[in-house]
Amino acid sequence: MVDLKSFGNKEMKLAPGHRLCPGCAAPIISKLVLLAASDYDVVVGTATGCLEVSTTIYPYTAWKVPWIHNAFENVAATISGVETAYRVLKKKGKINKNIKFIAIGGDGGTYDIGLQSLSGALERGHNFLYICYDNEGYMNTGIQRSSATPIGASTTTDPAGTVRPGKLEFRKDLTAIVAAHHIPYVAQASIHNLNDFLTKVKIAIETEGPSFINVLSPCVLGWGYDSSQTIELAKLAVETCFWPLYEVKNDNWILNYDPGDKKKPVIEFMKSQKRFKHLFKPENEWVLKRAQEEVDKRWEWLKRMCEK
């Protein structure tokens, strides 16, 4: 575990004044990642998305570290190029310091349109950390459905209607897909557990080869809740086992939090969010039931994966 106090006097590498929404988890995640990596020189790549458009509106930038944005679906390929250039230039003696590379993408740029680019970069074994801030939809373009959107959620491309109550498919399990690449380090984390998250970033950044951390990123606008509740919702997602905390270290699956008998029903996570509001009508009860069944099924699967 990291010593949280040791971060107290570190400079924040993401400056205030960016234009992300109040209560948005993306800048919290970014700041924490940069904080946990603050012992190193880092270069950050960001996929097109909320974080990118809100932190770098020309001629301003909120980034106090070297930063590159290329397009939506290619941050992993872009950072591959940066990391490879670094290796060559270092070998040639043109650079003599150690630099760490971090790619950040939302769920749209990671689960969906950027999945191929990510998979390619993982397979090639570049030395980088990929952070996915998963807000469960295309929030930057106005809350459209992604493959990370959970069952029952109303989005602008799959809204709660009279014959179809929003998304009816279960979300993609990207963390497990990434783990299937057998890279050295994969984890799921949450912003309510600072120690767990910062420790994971520190492990990942110090890992040789590719590493990946998936972080749930509550979205005030897309999920529909009071901006004071961001951390609370992140916590509920973990306590309901909707977003379990675990890591896969060299193919060893380790559960970081098991609520045991205190596992809360998933509606505890869902009920305060406007995107699920329609599910609490009697005719849509079956969706809530299916959501709970899937959370239970995946939780049991994860526990089996983590059994020694």
- Residues within the interface to another protein (CB under 8 A): 41-43, 45, 52-53, 56-61, 63-71, 73-74, 77-89, 91-92, 94-95, 97, 99, 116-117, 119-121, 123-124
The rounded distance, in Å, linking the Cα atoms of 214 and 249 is: 14
CB nearer to another protein: give 101 or 225.
101
Q: How far is the CB of 26 from another protein (least distance, A)?
A: 15
Give the residue among 107, 106, 105, 135 at the shortest CA–CA distance from 223: 135
Q: How far is the CB of 70 from another protein (least distance, A)?
A: 5
CB nearer to another protein: give 45 or 244.
45
CB-based contact 140:105 (threshold 8 Å): no
Q: Phi and psi at residue 288, in whole multiples of 5°?
A: -60, -40
CB-based contact 167:136 (threshold 8 Å): no
Q: How far is the CB of 62 from another protein (least distance, A)?
A: 9
CB nearer to another protein: give 83 or 107.
83
Give the residue among 99, 1, 112 at the shortest CA–CA distance from 42: 99
CB nearer to another protein: give 45 or 165.
45
CB nearer to another protein: give 65 or 267.
65
Give the total residue count for the chain.
Answer: 308
Q: How far is the CB of 306 from another protein (least distance, A)?
A: 30
The rounded distance, in Å, linking the Cα atoms of 51 and 36 is: 19
Residue 98 CA, chain-centre distance (Å), reads 26
CB nearer to another protein: give 118 or 160.
118
Q: How far is the CB of 74 from another protein (least distance, A)?
A: 4
Q: How far is the CB of 7 from another protein (least distance, A)?
A: 20
Q: How far is the CB of 111 from another protein (least distance, A)?
A: 17
| Encoded tokens for 283 | 């005719």
CB nearer to another protein: give 112 or 158.
112
The rounded distance, in Å, linking the Cα atoms of 152 and 278 is: 9
Separation in Å, CA 102 to CA 18, 77, 80, 82: 20, 12, 10, 10
